[in-house]
Amino acid sequence: MDEAANCLIHRWPEGSLNDPARQAATAACLAAVDGSGDTDAARQAFVTVAEAAPILAARRVDGPMAS
């Protein structure tokens, strides 16, 4: 969660900085880092805003690790 929070704070696309979902994801990640928040909820919040930004790489399901 520390890296996700860092990305949301320092490396997020400028056009999305004021997005309420990004701000909520940042708060969720920071809470998870300090132990007061749920890590699964923070991860999901990050994935949701990263997909909307879009900065999250597509998941591969056809490679050697696919089952």
Structure tokens at 13: 């696309």
Least confident of 18-27, 29-38, 58-67: 58-67
Number of H helices, E strands in the chain: 3, 0
- Sorting pLDDT into bands at 50, 70 and 90, what band is 67? very low
Nearest C-alpha neighbor of 42 from the set 58, 20, 26, 54:
26
* Residue among 38, 61, 42, 41 at smallest CA distance from 3: 42
Which SS3 state, helix, strand or coil, does residue 19 take?
coil
pLDDT at 61: 56
The per-residue pLDDT for 15 is: 85
